[in-house]
């Protein structure tokens, strides 16, 4: 490695506070190319010091953290929206299946609901799940849909026979 290359490698460190050795300083005084590079590195090191000093760390921190909180909040809302949409779709399937006359006890709304896979619900904690179910109940009430599992007294004909057969084994 030539002395010019060695000096070039050392320049950032010297600009950061280290000292030149006597040999390095002598070379720098004699080599116009190295002197020009050194002037460039020193200028770059000083560039923008005034602008940086004007930056208000507290102000920037407050604004960044505020935006991050707002971003997390809207992300949560979006996820709830997706979860609710998934749940509503699942509920529609439950209602459609449980409302269909099949004649088999195993195809009642309760069984179908228990066997449905709802990956949207996996990430929800109990209070969130309860809140969603309450919302679903309210929606069902407003639309005149009965989400309760059918009672034996609600069943007729083949459906009732199917339930009784299942109970008697």
Partner 1 sequence: MSAIAGSGPDARPDAELVAAYRGGDERAAAELVRRHLAAVGRFLYSAGAGPSDVEDLVQETFFRAFRRIDGWRGQASFRSWLFTIAGNLHKDEYRRRRGRQLVSIDDRDLPDRADPDADFAAGEAEDRLRKGLAGLPRLQREVFLLRAQEGREYDDIAAALGTTPGAARVHYHHAVKKLKELVR
**φ, ψ dihedrals at 55, nearest 5°:** -70, 135
Binding-site member from 1, 19, 56, 123 for partner 1 (CB under 8 A) = 56
How far is 11 from 39, CA to CA, in rounded Å?
10
CB under 8 A: which stretch of 11-19, 123-131, 147-155, 157-165 binds partner 1? 11-19
The residue among 48 and 169 lying less far from partner 1, judged by its C-beta, is 48
Q: Which residues, numbered 64-123, are part of the site for partner 1 (CB under 8 A)?
A: 64-65, 67-68, 71
**φ, ψ dihedrals at 11, nearest 5°:** -55, -45
The residue among 56 and 123 lying less far from partner 1, judged by its C-beta, is 56
CB under 8 A: which stretch of 59-67, 79-87, 137-145, 156-164 binds partner 1? 59-67
DSSP 15-61: HTT----HHHHHHHHH-HHHHHHHHHHHHHHHTTHHHHHH--HHHHH
Structural Rg of the chain based on CA atoms: 37
* 157 scored as a contact of partner 1 (CB under 8 A): no
- CA dihedral 137→141→146→147, nearest 10 degrees, is -10
* 19 scored as a contact of partner 1 (CB under 8 A): no
CB under 8 A: which stretch of 5-13, 21-29, 113-121, 155-163 binds partner 1? 5-13
* 57 scored as a contact of partner 1 (CB under 8 A): yes
How far is 167 from 63, CA to CA, in rounded Å?
64
* 1 scored as a contact of partner 1 (CB under 8 A): no
Residues engaged in binding partner 1 (CB under 8 A) = 8, 11-13, 15-16, 36-37, 40-41, 43-45, 47-65, 67-68, 71
């Amino acid at each position: 490695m030539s002395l010019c290359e060695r000096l070039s490698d050392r320049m950032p460190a010297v600009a950061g506070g280290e000292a030149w050795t006597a040999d390095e300083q002598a070379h720098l005084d004699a080599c116009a190319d190295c002197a020009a590079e050194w002037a460039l590195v020193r200028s770059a090191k000083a560039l923008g010091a005034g602008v940086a000093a004007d930056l208000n760390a507290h102000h920037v921190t407050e604004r960044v953290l505020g935006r991050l909180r707002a971003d997390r909040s809207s992300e949560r809302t979006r996820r709830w929206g997706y979860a609710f949409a998934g749940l509503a779709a699942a509920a529609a399937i439950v209602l459609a299946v449980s409302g269909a006359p099949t004649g088999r006890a195993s195809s009642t709304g309760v069984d179908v609901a228990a066997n449905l896979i709802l990956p949207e619900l996996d990430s929800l904690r109990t209070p969130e799940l309860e809140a969603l179910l309450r919302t679903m109940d309210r929606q069902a009430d407003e639309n005149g849909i009965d989400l309760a599992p059918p009672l034996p007294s609600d069943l007729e004909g083949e459906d009732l026979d199917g339930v009784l057969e299942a109970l008697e084994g």
